[in-house]
Amino acid sequence: MNWFGNDDEPDPPAAFWPGYPQFVRVIAWHWRNPLHNFAAYVIGVKGKQFIFVASQPNTVDSSFADGGGWLFAKVICGKRVLPYISYAGRHLRFYAGWRPSGMFGLRVTKGKEA
């Protein structure tokens, strides 16, 4: 497995930078997240059997609690227990840890997003 690149989506989807030439879209797509494979398959558990256990309800594959606020969770993969925490508020959204998809991630943004 190559640590760099995106084996799940090697080519940009049609909605990514529509109207730009294909070669520009491909270059931008690969620069967008060069460590996708690393986060998903090397330190992540994507593609393996795992269970995501959350402190409160969250939509399947959603990184945040339904209705906002704090979400504490863990990903159980074999003997490994991996942490996850997120918060969605009026002025701040963030998450850190192994997400419901099994990928490791860190993200901080301002305000509510769709």
Kindly tell me the burial class for residue 111, based on how many C-beta atoms sit within 10 Å of its own C-beta (0-12, 13-18, 19 or more). exposed
Domain ranges of the chain: 1-42, 51-110
Give me the percent of the chain exceeding a pLDDT of 90: 59
pLDDT-derived band at 67, boundaries 50, 70, 90: confident
The conformation of residue 92, written as its DSSP 8-state character, comes to E
The mean pLDDT of the chain is 89
Neighbour count for residue 38 (Cβ, 10 Å): 18
Question: In this model, does residue 99 exceed pLDDT 60?
Answer: yes
Cα–chain-centroid distance for residue 5? 15
Which tokens hold the place of 74? 């863990």
Q: How high is the pLDDT of residue 58?
A: 79
pTM of the model: 0.79
Closest CA to 42 of 100, 111, 96, 104: 104
Question: In this model, does residue 104 exceed pLDDT 80?
Answer: yes
Question: In this model, does residue 3 exceed pLDDT 80?
Answer: no
